[in-house]
C-alpha cells in the first residue's frame, strides 16, 4: 500500500483519533513558540491535539486539514478557531500570512517538494517551520515491540536506535536550525492502548483478518512483559521531538 493510500485512512476518522491519540507536552509548544506571534498555521492539524497548545501563543491560529471528521472534532473542542479544509500541497491561505507553520504527526505524509513550496509561500520572510512527532521511547521494550508490529522494519535495517538522538528530516528549501526532545509518561488503560493502535494507518488499512492478528500480537506483548502483564493501567513512556527550520537562502 502506498503512502498516499495509508494517509487517506485518516480521512474518515475523527472521534476515535481525538479519544485515543495522545496530546503533546506544553514544553514543546513553549520551545516552538517562545514568544507571542501574530499568526500560526497548524498544518494537517487533525483534531487539534497540537493546535490547542498554540491558542495562547498567537493572536490568530489557523488549522488546516484534509479531513472533515477531524476538523469537526477540532471545531467542537476549539469553537471559533479558523479551521479550513486543505492540504499541505494546496494551503488555502494568502502569501506571507503566517509567522510560523507547525506540523504535528503528519509531515511524513506530505509530498515534500510541493508542500515545502506552499509552506514557504505562506510564511513571512522571517517565518519558521516546526515539525513535531510523538513516538515510542526506544528505552521502553514493550511499546517498541508493539510499534514494530505496526511498523515492521525492512530486512536490511536494525531496530537499534540512539535514545537521545533527534531524527534527521530534510525539508526542501529549508535549513534545520534547532530541535528539542522531550521525554514524558502517560497513564493509559490496556484497552485504551489497544484502541490507540486502531487509529494507526497500518491498522486502519489492514483487512479484518490481518487487523485481528496484529491486535493479537500486541496483546501477546502486553501479556508477556513484566511491566504490563496482568495490569489494567499501563505507564507508557513517550518521546516528543520538535525540529525547527528557517527558509534557506
For 53-90, the pLDDT digits (tens) are 999 999 999 999 999 999 999 999 999 999 999 999 99
pLDDT per position as a tens digit, 226-243: 999 999 999 999 999 999
Note the pLDDT of residue 6.
Answer: 58
Helix (H, G, I), strand (E, B) or coil at 249: coil
Q: Are strands 82-85 and 58-65 parallel, antiparallel or unpaired?
A: parallel
Nearest-5° Cα angle at 166, 163 to 172 = 155
Band the pLDDT of 163: cuts 50, 70, 90: low
Per-residue confidence (pLDDT) for residue 242, from 0 to 100 = 98
Spatial distance between the Cα atoms of 119 and 101, rounded to a whole number of angstroms? 7
pLDDT in tens, 4-54: 655 566 666 788 889 889 999 999 999 999 999 999 999 999 999 999 999
On whether residue 62 sits in a domain, the answer given is yes
In a domain, 73, yes or no: yes
Q: Are strands 174-189 and 233-247 parallel, antiparallel or unpaired?
A: antiparallel
Q: Are 122 and 98 in contact (CB under 8 A)?
A: yes
Domain-located, residue 128: yes
Q: What is the pLDDT of residue 12?
A: 67
Look at residue 59 and tell me if it is in a domain: yes
> Which pLDDT does position 162 carry in this prediction?
65
Q: What pLDDT does residue 115 have?
A: 98
Residue 47's φ and ψ, nearest 5 degrees, are: -90, 5
- Across the chain, mean pLDDT equals 92
CB 83 within 8 Å of CB 71: yes
User: Apex CA 63: angle with CA 59 and CA 69, to 5°?
Assistant: 145
Contact 39, 33 (CB under 8 A): no
Residue with cell 517565518: 127
Range of the domain at 171: 3-137+156-187+239-247
Instruction: Please indicate, yes or no, if residue 212 is contained in any of the structural domains.
Output: no
Residue 23 and residue 196: Cα distance in Å, rounded? 12
Tell me if 50 is assigned to some domain: yes
* Grid cell listed for 73: 472534532
What's the pLDDT tens digit per position in 197-207? 999 888 988 89
Instruction: Give the residue-averaged pLDDT of 210-229.
Output: 96
CATH number of the domain that residue 133 is part of = 3.40.50.150
Q: What is the structure's pLDDT at 5?
A: 59
- Grid coordinates of 19: 479519544
Coil, strand or helix at 189: strand
Helix 208-224 to helix 141-150 angle, to the nearest 10 degrees?
A: 170
Give the model confidence (pLDDT) of 82-114 as tens digits: 999 999 999 999 999 999 999 999 999 999 999
Residue 29 lies in a domain: yes
Contact 115, 123 (CB under 8 A): no
Residue 118 pLDDT > 80, yes or no? yes
pTM: predicted TM-score of the whole model, two decimal places: 0.89
With respect to residue 66, please indicate whether it lies within any of the assigned structural domains: yes
Count of domains forming the chain: 1
pLDDT for position 159:
53
Amino acid at each position: 500500500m502506498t503512502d498516499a493510500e495509508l494517509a487517506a485512512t485518516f480521512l474518515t476518522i475523527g472521534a476515535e483519533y481525538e479519544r485515543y491519540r495522545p496530546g503533546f507536552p506544553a514544553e514543546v509548544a513553549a520551545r516552538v513558540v517562545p514568544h507571542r506571534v501574530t499568526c500560526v498555521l497548524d498544518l494537517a492539524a487533525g483534531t487539534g491535539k497540537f493546535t490547542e497548545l498554540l491558542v495562547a501563543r498567537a493572536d490568530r491560529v489557523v488549522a488546516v486539514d484534509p479531513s472533515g471528521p477531524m476538523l469537526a472534532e477540532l471545531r467542537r473542542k476549539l469553537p471559533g478557531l479558523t479551521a479550513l479544509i486543505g492540504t499541505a500541497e494546496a494551503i488555502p491561505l494568502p502569501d506571507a500570512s503566517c509567522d510560523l507553520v507547525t506540523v504535528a504527526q503528519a509531515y511524513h505524509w506530505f509530498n515534500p517538494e510541493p508542500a515545502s513550496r506552499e509552506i514557504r509561500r505562506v510564511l513571512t520572510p522571517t517565518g519558521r517551520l516546526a515539525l513535531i512527532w510523538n513516538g515510542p521511547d526506544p528505552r521502553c521494550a514493550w511499546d517498541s515491540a508493539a510499534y514494530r508490529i505496526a511498523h515492521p522494519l525492512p530486512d536490511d535495517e536494525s531496530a537499534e536506535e540512539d535514545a537521545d538522538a533527534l531524527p534527521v528530516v530534510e525539508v526542501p528549501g529549508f535549513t534545520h536550525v534547532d530541535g528539542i526532545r522531550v521525554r514524558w509518561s502517560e497513564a493509559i488503560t490496556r484497552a485504551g492502548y489497544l484502541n490507540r493502535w486502531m487509529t494507526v494507518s497500518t491498522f486502519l488499512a489492514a483487512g479484518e483478518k490481518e487487523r485481528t492478528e496484529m491486535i493479537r500480537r500486541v496483546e501477546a506483548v502486553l501479556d508477556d512483559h513484566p511491566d504490563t502483564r496482568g495490569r489494567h493501567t499501563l505507564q507508557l513512556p513517550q518521546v516528543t521531538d520538535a525540529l525547527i527550520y528557517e527558509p534557506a537562502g
